[in-house]
Amino acid sequence: MGQVLHGCARTTEAVRRAIQHSQESLRALARRHGINPKTVAKWRARSG
């Protein structure tokens, strides 16, 4: 069974994990995944 995302969701669990483990800049990650740099910063700050 796959992940169930709401209609506006832009990140999956795999993308969030990649953001948390990446050493790239916020801007580079935002461009790569097509999301806002603030979203990248939010996921970087979260633990787990």
Distance in angstroms (rounded) separating the CA atoms of residues 8 and 18: 20
Q: What tokens appear for 13 in the block?
A: 């669990």
How many contiguous H segments (helices) and E segments (strands) does the chain have?
3, 0
Cα radius of gyration rounded to whole Å, the chain: 11
Q: Terminus-to-terminus CA distance in the chain, angstroms?
A: 22
Q: What tokens appear for 41 in the block?
A: 């910063």
- pLDDT at residue number 39: 92
- pLDDT at residue number 1: 56
Kindly report the pTM of this predicted structure: 0.76
